[in-house]
Amino acid sequence: MLTSIKSVGSYVPSGILTNADLEKIVETSDTWIRERTGIHERRIAAVNETATDLAAEAARDALRVAGLRPQDTDLIVCSTSTPDSMFPSVASRVQERLGAHGPAFDVQAACTGFLYAMSIADRFVSGGESKQAIVIGSETLTKILNFKDRGTCVVFGDGAGAVVLGPSSNGAGIKSSVLGSDGSGGDLIYVAPGADGPEGRGRPEIRMDGRKVFRFATEILAQATLQALEKANVPLEDVKLIVPHQANARIIEAAGKRLGVGADVMVNEIANYGNTSTASIPLALKDALAAGRLKSGDHLVLVGFGAGLTWGACVIKWEGAPVRAAA
């Protein structure tokens, strides 16, 4: 039995930080940011807004689109690198807010986390242990940024995306999934436990070697895509869309060139969100659906990479999930 995506939901905070705003905070410019990242603006969570707040709203949106009640679901898997606290999990907090039941837990694989979470939930559904599962990616990354470091503070944003997974009704669904990790690259992107100097002591912040991450990302996005397609026995020319982790527009374009596909296939929605880590794939997928870029029977690939180093990809034959809730 295959597992299919029944709906896609999303939520982004109302706060917006533009490139012009960043010009006033750090030594940078709108032109510099756009040329190197493709980002125009990013969403910023309020001081009292948490990963759980964003995740719960994205899950509610996905349930509305699917026409389901929380009680119709029996599993919640949430991916996040910015939980409200060490424990309890964001997933269990979301479960309480929704009034859902069944297992609820978090996974952490940085920007690849949503694909790890989907792979786990897929096994629950395809194995008959779950009838309807909610998979969430939620991040408040701006809370762990050093706004004096233009290499990171211009890149990341906050947001959440969610999907409802269930048994396929027409033979469509997740046809393959591949996951990988190489711990030897763990120092390329990581969260330092505290910033250097007395003013930042104890405040965690993202550190990244942008050039090395770029080289790794462009190679692994293409490699993981082809590996997942081979496992699914689907040729690249049959793929309608590739939805990569929205890390950087240049990375997306370079990976597309490696694969020999253009902007009509590679989804690039980073301009208005920035890099939202584990939330970026469902956010980009929802925007692609809203733009009418997928129809029932189309093949698509979700592919990502992240700190760890981690990577993953899955091939999906699209069942034809609704784009938005009925009026």
Which of 138, 153, 169 finishes a domain?
A: 169
Q: Is the Cβ–Cβ distance between 149 and 197 less than 8 Å?
A: no
189 three-state secondary structure:
strand
Q: What is the pLDDT of residues 180-224, one digit of tens each?
A: 999 999 999 999 986 544 455 567 899 999 999 999 999 999 999
Tell how strand 104-107 and strand 205-208 pair up.
unpaired
Any idea what the CATH number is for the domain that residue 68 is in? 3.40.47.10
User: How much is the pLDDT for 197?
Assistant: 46
Task: Lowest mean pLDDT of 2-6, 140-144, 190-194, 204-208, name the range.
Answer: 190-194
Whole-prediction pTM: 0.96
Band of the pLDDT at 321, cuts 50, 70, 90?
confident
- As a whole number, mean pLDDT of residues 275-289 equals 99
Q: Quick check: is 68 in a domain?
A: yes
pLDDT at 240 over 70: yes
pLDDT tens-digit map of 63-119: 999 999 999 999 999 999 999 999 999 999 999 999 999 999 999 999 999 999 999
111 is catalytic: yes
- The active-site residue, picked from 19, 146, 268, 275, is 275
Summary mean pLDDT of the chain: 96
299 belongs to the catalytic site: no
Same domain, 146 and 42: yes
CA-angle at 179, arms to 178 and 183, nearest 5°: 155
Q: 323 lies in a domain?
A: no
pLDDT of residue 171: 87
Q: Which of 78, 146, 245, 314 is catalytic?
A: 245
Which residue among 169, 200, 217 closes a domain?
Answer: 169
Which structural domain, as residue segments, surrounds residue 30?
3-169
Query: 19, 78, 111, 248: which one is catalytic?
Result: 111
Q: How many CA atoms lie less than 13 Å away from 257 in the CB half-sphere?
A: 8
What is the pLDDT confidence band of residue 323, given thresholds at 50, 70 and 90? confident
